[in-house]
Chain A
Amino acid sequence: MKDYLLDSIDAKLGEMLTNSSHMFDLSMSCLLGDTNLDSVKENLYSTDKLINELHRDVRRELILHSAVNSRNPDIPLLLAYMTMSKDIERIGDYCKNLFEIAETGNSFTKDDDLDYLISLRDNISGFIVSLQTCLSIDKESKVQELINSGAKLGKEIDEKITSLLEDKIEVKYPVATTLFYRYLMRINLHIVNAATAIIMPTDKIDYIDE
């Protein structure tokens, strides 16, 4: 027997991820491509509002589910959904931050590392799709694979940020580039954290390093 609200929550998380993926693609197209900012701004912000509303729906449905199942509440599952929805909601916020880098006149289209930046975009975009798949199939090995890949990429971006802070890399827009890597790292981290909520014990969610 399927559970109506848990299925609905799964569907809403999936929808949040689809919207996050859309926001990520839009904001990255503004930084790595020639997309007109004005043409995507409204779309970007309205999609974020949609994600926020879905996030609130998830919370409401979690309360409703726990009220209806008050005698046998699956508390670890509800906490996992709570933390996961928060992580997915944050992706949208960082996509807006990425867009704001472009809005202040920064662009990486002529950056020496453009190919690397495009590969970063593709990796993270792929992680969002993987997270969506993990949510629907609940296969531990697939989730673990996503966590490992995300952790590896996170370390890589972290090293980039450290190099930028230590002036080891020369870039055209140092502040914008550092912020860009920082936001990508946060997006990547929220994807990994959401993945940990699927398979890890409640106390270990978000703590992959420890």
Chain B
Amino acid sequence: MVTMKKRPFTKVLFATFFLYFFLVSIKLLEKGIKTLGAEYTDQLFQSVSSPFVGLLVGILATVLVQSSSVTTATIVGLVGSGFLSLTYAIPMIMGANVGTTVTNTFVSFGHVRRDHEFKRAFASATMHDFFNLIAVLVLFPLELATGFLRKLAISTTDIVIATGFTATKPNSPIKASIKWGSNSILDLLSKISFIDKLHEQSYRLYAGLVISLAIIFIFLSLKKIVSNMKSIMLNKIEFGLDKVLARGGGVLAIVIGIVITFSVQSSSITTSILVPIVGSGILSIENAFPITLGANIGTTITAVLASLAVDGPEGLTIALVHVFFNLISVAVIYPFKTLRNFPIKLAMILSSATVKRRYMAIVYVLVTFVLLPILGIVLFN
């Protein structure tokens, strides 16, 4: 049957505009933080007392905004401005990885009326949770003990800068255009009398306003990038997933997961698409698993893009930490069958229990993603 489709040209233009707006928002965040001043930011910084709290803050912040891209991009902005050190930013990035998995768990609730469907759907959602939790359990203590992720990311940053890649130079055309965009927004704000007065009376309140606006802009621009890119990439997503259905999982499925997520800038989109497919039984949970791992890797592109907007090389370093954390966790867990099946088995056990007692699904989400992080922050801070 013939169906009517829209031309994608406008969507490409929109996506490009919002990508630029996203980078400008990161720059705005950096400027807002710098306006606060080192003395004040040092006080705030001290309130995050341990890397463990950083991890929990990363989980909670991502659950609240329902997007690891927003959290990681914000973290890049905070690190790039010097507000947040790598010591605390690295666990936050790990926490963002865990927090983002709650979105597809919510999607699985849509299948709650049919036992078998819900069992598969919930397992396909929670295997992502378990994989990311296991990755944190293994790599977080290792990072605390050795700092291997930090060292690897710093060395890579040095190599990238040494290659003379123009985007990393402070006076690069990309950075200059982003700076122009953020200055234009600040000029516009100063023309609003209320904000202008606020600027004169309290630079801290003014900085708070700029930071809040920047975070709202990051959220909105990412939302628009994701929706536009998804509609542009629909055919490619369908093509890629159709290939996985035909051939099964494996490395191809990881690559497809990376490509889809890289294109739409959101791991939640990829993992949420998988939930009804696994729920209906046309894709096995084992074959969906590598796509999820690919989504973990693909989503790291957002932080790398965000690092183009910040002045300091630390922005790129924390973005690379995100890349290496996900690459290493997949490289460590996926090649070994026993390790690979472990998150799947845990997810199956949880989903079997949840089918018998539906309320457990809600309890699981609340405890894992809200109560434990809050409790941890209160106890360890």
Residues of chain A whose beta carbon lies under 8 Å from any beta carbon of chain B: 1-6, 8, 10, 59-61, 63-70, 74, 77, 80-81, 135-138, 198
Q: Which residue of B lies closest to A10 (CB)?
A: B1
Alpha-carbon distance A24/B323, docked complex (angstroms):
58
Nearest CB to that of A60 among chain B residues? B282
Q: Is the CB of B242 within 8 A of A63?
A: no
Asked if B238 and A3 make an inter-chain contact with CB atoms under 8 angstroms apart, the answer reads: yes
Task: Give the CA-CA distance A67 to B279 in the complex, in Å.
Answer: 10
Give B residues with C-beta under 8 Å from A: 1-3, 5-8, 234-239, 241-242, 245, 272-277, 280, 282
Contacting pair B235 A65 (CB below 8 A): no
**When the two chains form their complex, are residues B280 and A63 in contact, meaning their CB atoms are under 8 A apart?**
yes
Among the interface residues A2, A5, A60, A68, which one has the most CB atoms of the partner chain B within 10 A?
A68
Flag if A68 contacts B238 (CB, 8 Å): yes
Q: For A137, list chain B residues within 8 Å (CB).
A: 2
Q: Which residues of B contact A65 (CB under 8 A)?
A: 238
Not counting A4-B242, A60-B245, a sample of 17 additional A-B residue pairs whose C-beta atoms are within 8 angstroms of each other reads A1-B5, A1-B7, A4-B235, A4-B239, A5-B242, A59-B282, A60-B282, A63-B277, A63-B280, A64-B241, A68-B237, A68-B241, A70-B273, A77-B3, A81-B1, A135-B1, A137-B2
Q: Tell me, rounded to whole Å, the shortest Cβ–Cβ distance linking B347 to chain A.
A: 19
Given contact pairs A1-B7, A4-B235, A64 touches B277 in the complex (Cβ within 8 A): yes
> Can you list 28 pairs linking A and B with CB atoms under 8 Å apart?
A3-B5, A3-B234, A4-B234, A4-B238, A4-B242, A5-B238, A8-B242, A10-B1, A60-B245, A60-B282, A63-B276, A63-B277, A63-B282, A64-B238, A64-B245, A66-B276, A67-B273, A67-B274, A67-B275, A68-B238, A68-B273, A70-B273, A74-B3, A77-B3, A80-B1, A135-B1, A138-B2, A198-B1
Closest A residue to B11 using CB positions: A1
Give complex CA distance A10, B273 in Å.
22
Q: Using Cβ atoms and an 8 Å threshold, which residues of chain B touch A66?
A: 276
Do the beta carbons of B235 and A61 come within 8 Å of each other? no
B241 to chain A, nearest CB (A): 6
Contacts of A60 in B (CB 8 A): 245, 282
Contact partner of B1 (CB less than 8 A), chosen from A1, A2, A70, A77, is A77
Which chain A residues lie closer than 8 Å to B275 at the CB level?
A: 67
Closest Cβ of chain A: how far from B280's Cβ, in Å?
5
Q: Which residues of chain A are near B234, meaning CB under 8 Å?
A: 3-4, 68-69
CA distance A64 to B281 in the complex (A): 11
Q: How many whole Å from A101's CB to the nearest CB in chain B?
A: 34
B285 CB, min distance to chain A CBs, angstroms: 15
> Given the interface contacts A67-B277, A77-B1, A138-B1, does A1 sit within 8 Å of B235 by beta carbon?
yes
Docked complex Cα distance between A67 and B8 (Å): 21
Give complex CA distance A95, B245 in Å: 30
| Distance to closest chain B CB from A176 (angstroms) | 38
Whole-angstrom distance between the alpha carbons of A136 and B235 in the complex? 19
A64-B238, A64-B242, A65-B238 are contacts. A6–B3 as well, Cβ < 8 Å? yes
Given the interface contacts A3-B5, A138-B2, does A67 sit within 8 Å of B276 by beta carbon? yes
What's the Cα separation between A68 and B233 when bound, in Å? 10
Shortest beta-carbon distance, B18 to chain A, in Å? 18
* Distance of A5 Cα from B276 Cα, bound (Å): 16
Kindly list the 6 A-B residue pairs having the minimum CB-CB distance in the complex, ordered from nearest: A138-B2, A4-B235, A67-B276, A4-B238, A1-B5, A5-B238
Q: How far is the CA of A70 from the CA of B237 in the complex (A)?
A: 13
